[in-house]
Structure 1
């Protein structure tokens, strides 16, 4: 996937190639991009399913097998990034690393084995750069917006101003945010003993999500635009578009899912086996078919909580936000 511009900047900037790696609870995602004039152009993306958060909810630690998967994925990502002759590499970890008691040892093993330092993002930092990336796809929108990022260990909800309303920094545009400890991996492990799950398990999962939203969902203005970012929202858009759809389809003005679309897919997914879910869209479901129904429950309950009619799916996610963070700290070309 190449050649897409993901952000413009107000002043001329020197050319620069960079790579970012988002280490999440379920995946490790790579972006290679180039700053070209006033645009950030995507050159390459890759995704590896490491399931870093496997067992973290129950044991509080990242297991040895998960650490091995992470090292393998990061080694591959670094090799790919080097083929593009990047100027800078930035890697950041989120929920699973934040929550793990042995996170320092895991980060040290990555540094020792690969020479790669991984930033541990706070909830606020993760929200800021997820928000910056998600709303970059909709520069024509104004008014209130709410970004939802369903991760493996947590769900991020960020309320703020759409880009058409303000030219302030991402942090200044955010009005409120919450990091809810209800991600698709965490809740699948906690609530679903099988797939399809029992009706009682589905009811329990929905109640857990509703309680988390009731306790901490951020306030947002009237009639907000709901923007879904990251794997669950993007994968659902592709499943909805059909098995022949590709990730690049998300860049053609994005995709919109109605509340009914999300609810209908929730019911269909909850009635299928993992293999049946994988058959819906083998590319989009690879590595996430077993936790995907829970992710769609999280989207469905978010729409219901805010009583919104549709979900706009952004093609940009935290790895793109990390690129924006790098560029925000990079020097401009001399005048």
Structure 2
């Protein structure tokens, strides 16, 4: 099966073999290929309401490469989900036409609720058995952040999507390089208001374990661990304290994009927005009263693959 997650900042591919259902519910996927490209599809969407032509073209180039990989590996089924940026765009039809032409499959512009369900499924399958339930799963994307509360037995109990992604918050508030204290304060106030609404709706403060997904979280965790290179195996299911997250966030917000790039775990396409992503994570932990976060390298991409079972 081939799963593609096209978000506001990145587009990712997973080609995997699904386990035989008779093996049991905890049997893992067998990865054949995982790839990620930063295409910044949501460039300027918060301001203009439209997908930029150059952003669509960057996405097309990455998608064409993915289509070649899918064909080479012989995937029998393909599902592509597009999230926050394409929900917001007035010219979403241009994007859909490009995907159909390039991939041969139409993208599904999933709702916030569906995005949350897929993220939860991908994150919770394979969590250590000693992880206490219920879980609050947060998927910090480029345009939005999904908040999902649930457990292994019942799945998703409640979910909500808020427009506080790392690209959106950077474009809305963090204009300096590095951002000013006034810009950081404005971003923090915006994020806190959205987080409080989300935690009241799901309700997140009743959860026992916070699970964090997507590149902002995994990059912060990699930095907190002092890794000298990005190592998914060491990041996956690592638990990091609030104090460590707060320290990394302050450090990132105090640096220029060029200084952030000097960190060996930093993806070049993430350096300008990682400060906002870290800030979203820190504020969620504060407002939810979470002393730590468990990072997961498995997320909506894995959920999309499982949906093809």
Query: Which range, TM-score by smaller chain?
Result: over 0.9
| Preserved CA contact (<8 Å) 2:134 2:207 | yes
What is the DSSP-based 3-state SS (H/G/I as helix, E as strand, rest coil) of the residue aligned with 1:73? helix
| Preserved CA contact (<8 Å) 1:277 1:285 | no
Residue in structure 1 matched with residue 11 of structure 2 by the alignment = 28
What is the DSSP-based 3-state SS (H/G/I as helix, E as strand, rest coil) of the residue aligned with 1:149? strand
Q: Tell whether 2:274 aligns with 1:287.
A: no
| Preserved CA contact (<8 Å) 1:239 1:281 | no
Question: Could you tell which deviates more after superposition, 215-224 or 301-310?
Answer: 215-224
C-alpha distance in 2 between matches for 1:244 and 1:127: 30
Q: Tell whether 2:148 aligns with 1:158.
A: yes
Residue in structure 1 matched with residue 216 of structure 2 by the alignment = 232
TM-score normalized by the length of structure 1? 0.86
Residue in structure 2 matched with residue 11 of structure 1 by the alignment = none
| Preserved CA contact (<8 Å) 2:136 2:207 | no
Q: Tell whether 2:282 aligns with 1:300.
A: yes
| Preserved CA contact (<8 Å) 2:223 2:248 | no
* Deviation readout 1:153-177 (Å, 9 max, x if unpaired): 001111112x2xx1x4xxxx22221
| Preserved CA contact (<8 Å) 1:23 1:92 | yes
Residue in structure 1 matched with residue 240 of structure 2 by the alignment = 257
C-alpha distance in 1 between matches for 2:103 and 2:123: 30
Which of the residues 247, 252, 267 maps onto 2:232? 247
Residue in structure 1 matched with residue 39 of structure 2 by the alignment = 50
Cα offset for 1:139? 4.8
Cα offset for 1:220? 3.4
Higher relative contact order (CA 8 A, sep 6+): 2
Residue in structure 2 matched with residue 5 of structure 1 by the alignment = none
Mapping of 1:118-133 within 5 angstroms?
118-133=107-122
Cα offset for 1:47? 0.3
Q: Is there any run of 5+ residues in structure 2 with no aligned partner, and where?
A: none
Query: Higher strand fraction: Structure 1 or Structure 2?
Result: 1
Mapping of 1:45-124 within 5 angstroms?
45-124=34-113
